[in-house]
């Protein structure tokens, strides 16, 4: 598999990473056996980057990855973990804690659940508005010195926070939503990362399945992330699915799938960008891997730009309450 360098000082990783969130209920029930088979298939195909968060299924996702990585499967796999999001017993979300003491506490539990002696990339999931980023990064840097963490990443923060964090310790990558219909990072954040030698791990490349070519209006109603996502709501879904149909014409003409075009478009935005694929079934993974063979020509890129112009999506990428936590959107 093609490799990409995550930031000036970061690790070499496969050109696509596997995001494991959907394997722990964020997109409805997932099949445990199929999830583990998907992680193994990804590793066998040469994917080396696995992404998780300690709050995905309240530890469920880390335990699943821990099980999948038992034995020789661990060799060569890099695990990226987000921490700091607070959950409640009713599956709710109740804020963020990125205080130095909390960093060490979260890390201790993650290592145990993953069955690992270190985490390859450790990052706060969001900026904790009550804690200066320097303190959070300083605490992770202590854990790097102690050997429990290899590299430090960030997630959904804006340029000012990125600069302040990078002044404390090298940052290997920023994890942030980036897709044909979520292009906010092009307005400054991407340039800041490039200036500072920080890579991008792009998530939501298929906009949570919306632009995968597989999403149907009738799927609405399932109690998952999409129940609350503005882009899936009745008032926006027709407009958004019309964009997908415009994209499908281009995909059909090239003999590839809509998901492959959408993933290939993100990968084509720079060698410093690694799309995270949210597959939880081997068939979806295999489709996503096919994106690596899609070469987009200048004509394709211009057709895509016409089909899905910047800012074309109806609705914001998160519900208002979650948008308020995004330093990357200037909401602090």
Active centre residues (catalytic): 56
**C-beta of residue 7 within 8 angstroms of C-beta of residue 13:** no
Whose tokens are 């590839």? That residue is 256
Give the Cβ contact number of residue 269 at 10 Å. 17
CB nearer to ligand NAP: pick between 146 and 283 = 283
Residue 51 or 97 having the CB closest to ligand NAP: 51
Min dist CB 208 to ligand NAP, Å, is 5
The minimum distance between CB 298 and ligand NAP, in angstroms, equals 25
Q: Which of 4, 183, 280, 325 binds ligand NAP (CB under 6 A)?
A: 280
Nearer Cβ to ligand NAP, position 41 or 279?
A: 279
Closest CB to ligand NAP among residues 46, 145: 46
DSSP-derived 3-state class of residue 172: strand
Position 51 contacts ligand NAP (CB under 6 A): yes
266 binds ligand NAP (CB under 6 A): no
- Specify which residues 4 forms β-bridges with: 13
**Cα distance between residue 37 and residue 17, in whole Å:** 16
Of 70-78, 279-287, 303-311, 312-320, the window that binds ligand NAP (rule: CB under 6 A) is 279-287
User: Binding string, 98-137, against ligand NAP, x = CB under 6 A?
Assistant: ---------------------------x------------
Distance of closest approach, residue 110 Cβ to ligand NAP, in angstroms = 14
The phi and psi torsions of 16 (rounded to 5 degrees) equal -125, 145
Question: Do residues 266 and 179 touch, judged by C-beta distance below 8 A?
Answer: yes
Please, are residues 49 and 4 in contact by the beta-carbon 8 Å criterion?
Answer: no
Size of the site for ligand NAP (CB under 6 A): 30
Stretch that binds ligand NAP, among 86-94, 96-104, 142-150, 270-278 (CB under 6 A): 270-278
Q: Are strands 12-14 and 3-5 parallel, antiparallel or unpaired?
A: antiparallel
- What the block records as the tokens of 302 is 């211009």
CB contact set of 257 (below 8 Å; sequence gap of 6+): 213, 251, 287, 290
Alpha carbon 111 to its chain centroid, in Å, reads 20
Q: Which of 47, 102, 149, 205 binds ligand NAP (CB under 6 A)?
A: 205
Q: What mask of x and - would describe binding to ligand NAP in positions 7 to 26, judged by CB under 6 A?
A: ------------xxxx----
* CA atoms of 89 and 99, how far apart (whole Å): 22
| Rounded distance between C-alpha atoms, residue 261 and residue 270, angstroms | 15
Q: Integer distance in angstroms from the first to the last C-alpha of the chain? A: 39
From CA 297, how far away is CA 308, in angstroms rounded? 16
Q: How far is the CB of 176 from ligand NAP (least distance, A)?
A: 7
Q: Where are the beta strands (DSSP E) in the chain?
A: 3-5, 12-14, 17-19, 49-53, 78-83, 85-87, 93-96, 119-124, 149-155, 171-177, 199-203, 273-277
Question: CB under 6 A: which stretch of 3-11, 280-288, 292-300, 308-316 binds ligand NAP?
Answer: 280-288
Binding characters for ligand NAP, 281-310, by CB under 6 A (x = yes): x--x--xx----------------------
Smallest separation, CB 79 to ligand NAP (Å): 11
Using CB under 6 A as the binding rule, the residues of this chain from 145 to 204 that contact ligand NAP are: 155-156, 175, 203-204
- The CB density around residue 249, as the number of other CB atoms within 10 Å, is 12
- Interacting residue ranges for ligand NAP, rule: CB under 6 A: 19-22, 27, 51, 82, 125, 155-156, 175, 203-209, 212, 214, 259, 276-281, 284, 287-288
């Amino acid at each position: 598999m093609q490799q990409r360098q995550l930031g000036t000082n970061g690790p070499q990783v496969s050109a696509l990473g596997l995001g494991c969130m959907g394997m722990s209920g964020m997109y409805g029930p997932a099949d445990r056996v199929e999830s583990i088979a998907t992680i193994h298939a990804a590793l066998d195909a040469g994917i080396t980057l696995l992404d998780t968060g300690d709050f995905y299924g309240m530890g469920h996702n880390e335990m699943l990855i821990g099980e999948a990585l038992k034995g020789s499967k661990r060799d060569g796999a890099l695990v990226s973990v987000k921490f700091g999001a607070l959950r409640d017993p009713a599956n709710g979300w109740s804020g963020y804690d990125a205080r130095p003491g909390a960093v060490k506490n979260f890390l201790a539990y993650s290592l145990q659940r993953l069955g690992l002696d270190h985490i390859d990339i450790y990052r706060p999931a969001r900026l904790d508005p009550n804690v200066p980023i320097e303190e959070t990064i300083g605490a992770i840097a202590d854990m790097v010195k102690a050997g429990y963490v290899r590299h430090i990443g960030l997630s959904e923060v804006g340029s000012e926070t990125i600069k302040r964090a990078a002044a404390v310790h090298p940052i290997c990558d920023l994890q942030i939503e980036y897709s044909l219909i979520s292009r906010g990072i092009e307005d400054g954040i991407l340039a800041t990362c490039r200036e500072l030698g920080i890579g991008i791990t792009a998530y939501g490349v298929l906009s949570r399945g919306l632009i995968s070519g597989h999403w149907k209006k009738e799927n609405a109603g399932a109690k998952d992330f999409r129940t609350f996502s503005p882009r899936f709501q009745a008032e926006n879904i027709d407009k958004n699915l019309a964009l997908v149909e415009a994209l499908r014409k281009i995909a059909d003409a090239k003999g590839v799938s809509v998901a492959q075009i959408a993933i290939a478009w993100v990968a084509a935005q720079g060698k410093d960008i690694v799309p995270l694929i949210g597959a939880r079934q081997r068939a979806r993974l295999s489709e996503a891997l096919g994106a690596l063979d899609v070469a987009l020509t200048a004509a394709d890129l211009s057709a895509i730009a016409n089909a899905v112009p910047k800012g074309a999506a109806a609705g914001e990428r998160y519900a208002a309450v979650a948008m308020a936590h995004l330093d990357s959107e200037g909401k602090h």
